[in-house]
Amino acid sequence: MGIIEKILKEAKSLSKRIVLPETEDERVLKAAEIILKQGIAKVILIGKEDIVKSDATKLGINLEEATIVDSNKCEKMDVYVNELVKLREKKGMTKEQALEILTTEPRYFGAMMIRMGDADGMVAGSNSPTASVIRASIHVIGAAKGIKTISSSFMMVMPEPTYGDNGILFYTDCGVVPDPTSEQLADIATSAAWLSRKLANMEPKVAMLSFSTKGSAKHPDADKVIEAVNILKNRDVDFEFDGELQADAAIVPAIGAKKAPGSNVAGNANVLVFPDLGAGNIAYKLTQRLANAGAYGPLLQGLAKPVNDLSRGCSVEDIVNVAAITAVEAK
């Protein structure tokens, strides 16, 4: 059984409530039907009930088991508005502004449902840019305890089990933070280690990547990674990590043993932390295409409660799989 099949199976056992706010997208409605039919999660759709039901009828799909919430008719709106004002009062938000946002921006409304315990997670982005999903998540849900940086991971599933954890590696950050500081790299590593445990039940071995291994090159970019490693040491985290490591030293046992002898991570890494967004984004796309690997993400990490982003070019299957991933994160 592959990792996605395992995640789908686990999601079915959890019965989590997943918000799909972009009901104007027919792919979302089609995915909702599959999620419900397969028992992957309970589905909360945000939109006007008559429009959602009419669209479902036109598409020939059954959404009878879905909960449809119209933000303009929400009985808890006063509570939601007061909470958003409290969260954003330093920015001068008024009740009128909060009401406007919550009734016109479904991603904010979905995030507030999660914050207030009325849902367990959200999947959005099929019809909006990543920035919109992240903004709503940061403003409403906020970062996890001890984390200041919201970032992302791709779960990479290789066709062969040669590298990582039986062919599964987490690449981070490939989608959010362009040029992370050392402190941010440490946050990204911590969040990715948590995510790898949650989704793949693996024991994370985190490699802080660079073009240098253990001082083989001298450059401020390498120093940034070395400082991130020192920050992790001072934090006394509960996962194994090492750096700075070149990519081959991180995943190939013979090279890891030669370049970083005595390291428990070198040659055995399953979580790869890239020094910047350019390196991470290029690496995941090349791995996906050249190795024919599955690339699941970008999965947002570092939030207090789970929200995940979708590519605007996503398929119905992508939405179903990310909903299952979100449900497992919410356990």
Binned at pLDDT 50, 70 and 90, residue 313 comes out as confident
Binned at pLDDT 50, 70 and 90, residue 129 comes out as confident
Verify that 233 and 100 share a domain, yes or no.
no
CATH of the domain at 187: 3.40.50.10750
Cα–Cα distance, 72 to 310 (Å, whole number): 25
Axis-axis angle for helices 77-88, 95-104 (nearest 10): 120
Mean pLDDT of the residues in the chain:
95
Instruction: Provide the residue range defining the domain that includes 218.
Output: 151-295
Verify that 169 and 65 share a domain, yes or no.
no
Q: How many domains does the chain have?
A: 2
Axis-axis angle for helices 182-200, 220-235 (nearest 10): 60
Verify that 125 and 69 share a domain, yes or no.
yes
Verify that 160 and 287 share a domain, yes or no.
yes
CATH of the domain at 42: 3.40.50.10950
Verify that 185 and 312 share a domain, yes or no.
no
Cα–Cα distance, 78 to 315 (Å, whole number): 36
Verify that 284 and 179 share a domain, yes or no.
yes
Backbone angles phi, psi at 92, to 5 degrees: 80, 20
Verify that 109 and 224 share a domain, yes or no.
no
Residue 55: Cβ within 10 Å count: 18
- Kindly state the average pLDDT of the residues 131-136: 92
Tell me which residue has tokens 């400082």. Answer: 227
Verify that 117 and 227 share a domain, yes or no.
no
Verify that 162 and 265 share a domain, yes or no.
yes
Verify that 44 and 134 share a domain, yes or no.
yes
Verify that 159 and 92 share a domain, yes or no.
no
Verify that 319 and 241 share a domain, yes or no.
no
At 163, which amino acid appears?
Y
pLDDT tens digits for range 76-120: 999 999 999 999 988 888 999 999 999 999 999 999 999 999 999
pLDDT tens digits for range 214-249: 999 999 999 999 999 999 999 989 999 999 999 999
Residue 119: Cβ within 10 Å count: 24
Q: Is pTM, for the whole model, over 0.85?
A: yes
Task: Return the ∠ at Cα 133 (arms to 280 and 302), rounded to 5°.
Answer: 55
